[in-house]
Structures are given as C-alpha cells and as structure tokens.
Amino acid sequence: MDFLQRLGRFLDRPGFPWKRLIVGFSLGQYLLENFLSFRQYKVLQQTKPPKALEGEVSQEVFDKSQAYGRAKAKFGFVAGLYDQLQSFGIIYYDLLPKLWGLTGIWVVRYVPEKYAGEIVHTLIFFFTYNIISTVLSLPTAYYGTFVLEEKFGFNKQTVKLWVMDMIKSQALMVVFGAPLLSGFLAIVQKTGNQFFYYLWLFSIIVQMFAITIYPIFILPLFNKLSPLEEGKLKTGVEALAKKLNFPLSELYVIDGSKRSAHSNAYFYGLPWKKHIVIYDTLIEKSETEEVVAVLAHELGHWSLGHTTKLMGIGQFHMFYIFALFSVFINNRSLYQSFGFHKEFPIIIGFLLFSDALSPMDTVVKLLMNILSRTFEFQADAFAVNLGYSTDLAKSLIKLQIQNLSTMDADWMYSSYHFSHPILPERLGALGWYGGDKKASGKEMDDEKPIKASDREL
C-alpha cells in the first residue's frame, strides 16, 4: 500500500509529457502490428500449401483461403489506420474534456439537483461516448460483414438482423452497464486508497453473475438454443462427459448459421453445472465421430485444468490492473496533460490509465497467447489418448477448409496474434500424415508439450 502511494507521488510530475508518451505508445503499437501484418501478408501470397497440407487441401481451397486471408489483411490495414486516426483526433482536439464539459451542461440543465453528481455525469458521458464510437465504427463493421464476409460466402445476416443486433447490444449496455459502472464509481469514491481490493472482489461477483445470467437472458436475445436431438451424437457426447466426470447439465445446438457459415463448439457454466453448445454448422458439415472428437479436445481443457488456470490468471491480471490504477487515479499531471485542469473524473483517469498501460498489455497478450497455444497442444494430446486422433485430425482439416482459416503463418505474426497453433503444427503434433498416424498416443503426449515449448520460445 505504502509502495503504491509513493509510486503514485513519484509519477505525478507537473509538466510531464503524458500526452506525447501515450501517443508514442499508441503509434508504436500500431507500427508493430502493421509490421507483423506485412510479414503475414507475404505468407498469404504463397501459391502452394504447406507440405503438411499438400495431401489434405486442394489447390482451389488453398487459393481461396489465401485470397480470404489477403482480403482480411487489406481490410485490417485500412480499419487499423481509421481507428488510429480516430484516436489521434480525440487526443489532438481534446475531445474528451470537451465531451465531459458538454455532458456536464446537460446534467445541470436536465438532471434534478439531488441526482446530480459524478456518477450520473459519468453515466451520461459514457453512454454518449459509446454511441459516438458505435456510429464511427459503422462503416468498417458494415464492410466487414456485408462486403468481405459476403464475398467469401460466410455472411448469413440481413441488414435488418445486423441493425437489430446493434440495438439489442446498446440496450444491454444501458441495462447492465449503468449499474455496473455506478458500482465501480461508488466503490472508488467510498473505499479510499484501498479501493482496488474492493473493485477486485466486485469484479469476481460480476463475473459469476454474468456466467449465471448469460444463457438465460442474454444469449436467447441473439441466438436460439435447442436441445440436441436423441441420436448417435447425443449418446456419444454424454458418454464422453460421463467418462470424464464432466458435470454436463444441458447439451444444446445453436443456430450459428443464422449469422455465419463458420463452425464452432464450446462449453460454459459454473463449476458444478456445465452446458455444451454445438453450432448447427459443425453438425451439418462433420461426421458424428468428428464432432465428438472436437468436444473431446474442448473437455480436455476442462479435465487438464486449463479453464481454472486461465481464470486464476485472469483474476490476478484484474487485481494488478486495479492496483496500478490506484497509482494513477490521483495523478493530476496526467489529467492536465489531456486538458482536465479543474475536474478529475474517475472514468477519465481509468481511460487514460488504460492507454498508459498499453505496452504492458502487449506483453501480457504475447505471453497469454504462448500459454494458450501450449494448452491447445495439450488438449489435442488429451483427445488422442482417448482414441480420437484420426477423427480429431479429420475434423481440424474440415474446420480449416470450412472456415477458410489461415493455412500457414509467419512465426512472429502467429506468436503475437494467434491463441491457437496453425493447422500444420497441430497435425504434426498429432502424428497425422495423410491419414496415417505415425506415433502412438503416449509418444505424442510425451513429446508434444516439449515441441510446443520449443516452437513458442
């Protein structure tokens, strides 16, 4: 506690160029990510598939996958520049203090005095800022859905559905965002220098609440969940869950085809009550054994404790963010550098602190992706040891083809961006060579994590 307070006083230096520093961080991250994207773009210009996929993917599919990757990369360059210009515009023209001042005028004019205060002012500021951000993002969001995804046959949305999703999202932001943001501000206001302990506990409660209400109230607003029909697939999944002592409560099919042709499967829920969700597109385009193999991989994450470990890391990450925020919350030089000379709103402090933290977030993202890819290899090995090696390999290849996912990747780009290994790496770890499994499950289980670690480091 004393250390954090001393650090806060040390960093609060009048005249310190916080604005230039944060702009430099933002520009540095933008240049880094573009450098990596240019490296990846060169890979996307290759005309032949990786050797590991030569017998699995046709030239036509590979060419289409490369074209899809290049289209997304080009779009990413434009969208990234657009976002960067927005950020620079907000900073250069001091739009944050101007918007705070404008919403303050609205509070004085239209909010009864007994309700006026920083919390109400912050809510009006936040929702106004969110609406502006949403409007500014419409061109890229529309293009990404109705031009890029449409061109490659993935988009299944209508404009009406897209607009309705946006309206529902904004409504949810108001319904849940208002009390959560109010709680956040009230805790900071009332608990003094130790607020980060209480914010951390508050965030844990919110996460548990979200896990509970998401399938009941939120997911049905966007998708229809239907119980999986009786049959070979349901029997296979239930037998797998029973074998692993997975606390399966419900087994659902989600109408993912309503919006996209992409496929997926996942599980969610509280530790003692889990739900498995399978996309209808996955069931439609895969054999029963292949779907079960995908779920064997997913349940491998649960059985190996990956979800628990990631949750623990997430809680630690949240705690250190709130602890570091306590260092910056009273930093007057930071506020003043961005045009806040008389008022020092908590929400503004958190936004500016988040920008100042961006270099550290980049490092955390890199480390988390390394860990995530290692977990993916381990979950693959888990499925192999259950006897699903061939079906898992076939399913991964089918999913790669159906989703036109990246067939190959620059090592620097994948290390920074990818939470999953690329397909050739996974097939090599599975011992899959054109339908022949060259290593036993035990051998792969012993060797794969070592290979993963060597690859990542």
Name the residues annotated as catalytic: 298, 380
Around Cβ 31, how many Cβ atoms within 10 Å? 11
**What are the C-alpha distances in Å from 43 to residues 47, 81, 399, 414, 417?**
9, 22, 21, 11, 15
The answer to the question of whether 284 is labelled as a binding residue is no
What are the DSSP calls for 250-264, one per residue? EEEEE-GGGTBS---
Let me know: does 426 contact 384? Beta carbons within 8 Å: no
The helix (run of H) or strand (run of E) holding residue 269 is strand 265-270
d(CA 406, CA 428): 16
Around Cβ 157, how many Cβ atoms within 10 Å? 18
Please name the residue that has the structure tokens 């792969």. 444
Please name the residue that has the structure tokens 């106004």. 128
Let me know: does 374 contact 55? Beta carbons within 8 Å: no
Let me know: does 373 contact 452? Beta carbons within 8 Å: yes
> In 3D, which of 224, 191, 394 has the Cα closest to residue 292?
394
d(CA 243, CA 409): 36
Please name the residue that has the structure tokens 């979950």. 379
Let me know: does 138 contact 113? Beta carbons within 8 Å: no
Let me know: does 420 contact 373? Beta carbons within 8 Å: yes
The answer to the question of whether 417 is labelled as a binding residue is no
**What are the C-alpha distances in Å from 229 to residues 243, 283, 286?**
21, 12, 16
Dihedral pair phi/psi, residue 234, rounded to 5° = -60, -45
Give the tokens for residue 137.
């993002």
Strand-strand pairing, 265-270 and 225-227: unpaired
Let me know: does 248 contact 213? Beta carbons within 8 Å: no
The answer to the question of whether 301 is labelled as a binding residue is yes
Strand, helix or coil at 393?
helix
Let me know: does 30 contact 358? Beta carbons within 8 Å: no
> In 3D, which of 274, 124, 286 has the Cα closest to residue 212?
274
3-state helix, strand, coil in the chain (%, to 5): 75, 5, 20
> Could you tell me which residues are annotated as the binding site for Zn(2+)?
297, 301, 376
Binding residues: 297, 301, 376
